[in-house]
Structure 1
Amino acid sequence: MTTKLIPVENRKLWLAAIKPPMYSVAVIPIMVGTAAAYNQTGNFEPQIFFTFLSAAILIIAWLNLSNDVFDAETGIDINKAHSVVNLTGNKSLVFWIANLCLSLGIFGIFAITWWQQDGTVLGIILLCCALGYTYQGPPFRLGYLGLGEFICFFTFGPGAVSAAYYSQNQNFSSQCLASSILIGISTSIILFCSHFHQVEDDLAAGKKSPIVRLGTLKGSQVLNWLTASIFILTVIFIALNYLPWGSGLIFISFPLAYQLMNHVNQYHNRPDKVSNCKFLAVNLHFWSGLLLSLALVLPHLIPLIQSQFA
């Protein structure tokens, strides 16, 4: 009996299609929302956290797979070798796998609702899923009108972060809102960066992405302001006491922000060079979110650690 090995090129395409780094957009909002709740109360519900995290990953899988299906219908992905639909050649199968992921994800949120006897989290997540569908799903396809970044901001910022926060302590706060704005911006930057290298394909498919509307040069300038706003708003939120002083830890991620801005400023009109900028944006999103989470939990963790060694 022999084992048929998958060619290296195919493995690379599948890895690009699955997009493992992109799942940080599921992990970080849940982590930050939970950390903000812990900062406020000192309580942590691990069962709810890990259930929510698993559900969020499944919902992101649905979003990625269904977007591939919807893009296949418009023909915008005709040159995209790492589209799951193009790799499998079976749009229907990908669509039903996507729906299975969504169903399992929503089931996890139902479980949280049942445990807490409170439908708030379920309502927020259903709204986020509905917004996510409008991004590429017919008949809306709002992403083709250049509205994807706004949808992304509300879905992964105030939506997901607030839901994670509420799932831990059943209320909302200014700290929750401030944290969600920072995560919403950093997530939207990822989507914004994904357009720089595909202007021709977007134009051919009639997709008016922000970069199609602005051009790559102005787009790079807007990216500079969006990226800088994460750090400017952090200072403002600290000054207003919406975030603790320790949130300044987020500035450790500034070299990643500079790397992203510098790279796009240099290669904004070079699709072959700028195509990896979305992964630079993922790095910024992940590390800035992780540092913010760490800053939020440290005020409670440090005394606990000290008591263990006292």
Structure 2
Amino acid sequence: MTTSFIEQPNSKLWMAAIKPPMYSVAIIPVWVGTAVAFAETKMFHVGIFSTFLISAISLIAWMNCSNDVFDSETGIDINKAHSLVNLTGNKSLIFWISNLFLGLGILGTLAIALWQQDLTVIGLILLGCGLAYTYQGPPFRLGYQGLGEIICFICFGPLVVSAVYYSQAGAWSMTSLAASIIVGIATSLILFCSHFHQAVDDLAAGKRSPIVRLGTKAGAQLLPWFCGSIYALTGIFVVLQIFPVWTLLVLVTLPLAWKLCTHVHQNHDQPEKVSNCKFIAVTLHFWSGLLLGLGFVLPF
């Protein structure tokens, strides 16, 4: 069960609610899409990159805030001390703050579209926002049906990476699509790991997350395959000459994947001990994405 309200200092609860490490989920797709575009076009548009980065961070803030609002309506966060709604006691305030971040994110990508006189980028981002809303937002709440990881994969993989690539290159790329698969898997891994310590609360609220459906033991057994796909696919894309050989730098993160898998295997049924596994997954996501992008840039 999630940590109770009285066990942590208020400052720590606020840091947990804001989730600073999670903003790497916004940074990595922008970095990888830009790196692939640079590798293929030898061009880098600093203004577009910066604007996209700020927009992506704003959209992550929107999802963070709005998810706490939507979860407060189902009662699933009743034991979640670091819910923004529980901390402030003002669901309406968090709702409007989330809408402000959504507006900022959309305005940024709209600025890129107007700059390029091409609506493709804003179209992809609006599609991603709509899909992201269905994760927790009523009446869909697809995350409660166990579809969150699929939504996460599509939004932060093919949609965002492709949009970023297009914003830099003004075209499509099979290499960018392949890279987006790696980023999407690594991002979905974070969400998958976040369910282990919440299995009891999720089940009580009727949320059929993958861990609720599988059980924590089976989820822990699936995790090595989940992590291994990042390295297997990177190797396959290198062999097929879709990726440069330098992208094998992602293999440097194998110790992180090992740490994640062994930690979850040992503690999958102990919520207090396994609750930090999502942060190990965030670290794995960040470094694997950083090194993947670097693998595209280094040959030049």
Q: TM-score, normalised by structure 2?
A: 0.97
List aligned pairs for 1:98-137, cutoff 5 A.
Answer: 98-137=98-137
Give the whole-Å Cα distance in 2 for the aligned partners of 1:236 and 1:291.
Answer: 17
List aligned pairs for 1:183-202, cutoff 5 A.
Answer: 183-202=183-202
Matched, 1:231 2:231: yes
Look up the match of 1:265. Answer: 265
Shift of 1:266: 0.8
Cα deviation, 1:250-288, whole Å, max 9, x if unaligned, reads 101111111101111111111111000000000000000
Shift of 1:242: 1.1
Shift of 1:18: 0.1
Cα deviation, 1:24-63, whole Å, max 9, x if unaligned, reads 0000000000000001011000000000000000000000
Look up the match of 1:216. Answer: 216
Look up the match of 1:44. Answer: 44
Give the whole-Å Cα distance in 2 for the aligned partners of 1:177 and 1:134.
Answer: 23
Give the whole-Å Cα distance in 2 for the aligned partners of 1:277 and 1:172.
Answer: 35
List aligned pairs for 1:151-162, cutoff 5 A.
Answer: 151-162=151-162
Look up the match of 1:295. Answer: 295
Cα deviation, 1:269-310, whole Å, max 9, x if unaligned, reads 11111000000000000000000111111122xxxxxxxxxx
Shift of 1:172: 1.4
Give the whole-Å Cα distance in 2 for the aligned partners of 1:253 and 1:211.
Answer: 25
Give the whole-Å Cα distance in 2 for the aligned partners of 1:297 and 1:32.
Answer: 10
Give the whole-Å Cα distance in 2 for the aligned partners of 1:112 and 1:171.
Answer: 15
Cα deviation, 1:125-182, whole Å, max 9, x if unaligned, reads 0000001000000000000000000000000000111111110001111210111000
Matched, 1:11 2:21: no
Give the alignment's Cα RMSD to 1 decimal.
Answer: 0.7
Cα deviation, 1:86-127, whole Å, max 9, x if unaligned, reads 000000000000000000110000100010000111010000
The residue type equivalent to 2:74 in the other structure is: T
Please, which moves more after superposition, 164-173 or 62-71? Answer: 164-173
The residue type equivalent to 1:225 in the other structure is: W
Look up the match of 2:33. Answer: 33
Give the whole-Å Cα distance in 2 for the aligned partners of 1:250 and 1:225.
Answer: 16
The residue type equivalent to 1:152 in the other structure is: C
Give the whole-Å Cα distance in 2 for the aligned partners of 1:267 and 1:23.
Answer: 26
Give the whole-Å Cα distance in 2 for the aligned partners of 1:148 and 1:99.
Answer: 21
Look up the match of 1:304. Answer: none
The count of corresponding residues between Structure 1 and Structure 2 is 293
Q: Which runs of 5+ in 1 are unaligned?
A: 1-7, 301-310
SS of match in other structure, 2:140? coil
SS of match in other structure, 1:299? coil
Look up the match of 1:274. Answer: 274
Matched, 1:144 2:144: yes
Give the whole-Å Cα distance in 2 for the aligned partners of 1:173 and 1:29.
Answer: 15
List aligned pairs for 1:236-251, cutoff 5 A.
Answer: 236-251=236-251
SS of match in other structure, 1:236? helix
The residue type equivalent to 1:92 in the other structure is: S
Q: Which runs of 5+ in 2 are unaligned?
A: 1-7
Give the whole-Å Cα distance in 1 for the aligned partners of 2:160 and 2:225.
Answer: 24
Give the whole-Å Cα distance in 1 for the aligned partners of 2:36 and 2:225.
Answer: 26
Shift of 1:76: 0.2
SS of match in other structure, 2:82? coil
The residue type equivalent to 2:281 in the other structure is: A
Cα deviation, 1:199-251, whole Å, max 9, x if unaligned, reads 11001100000000000111011111010000000100101111111101110
Give the whole-Å Cα distance in 2 for the aligned partners of 1:49 and 1:109.
Answer: 11
Q: TM-score, normalised by structure 1?
A: 0.94
Task: Name the larger-Rg structure.
Answer: 1
Runs of 4 or more off by more than 2 Å in structure 1?
none
The residue type equivalent to 2:286 in the other structure is: F
Look up the match of 2:3. Answer: none
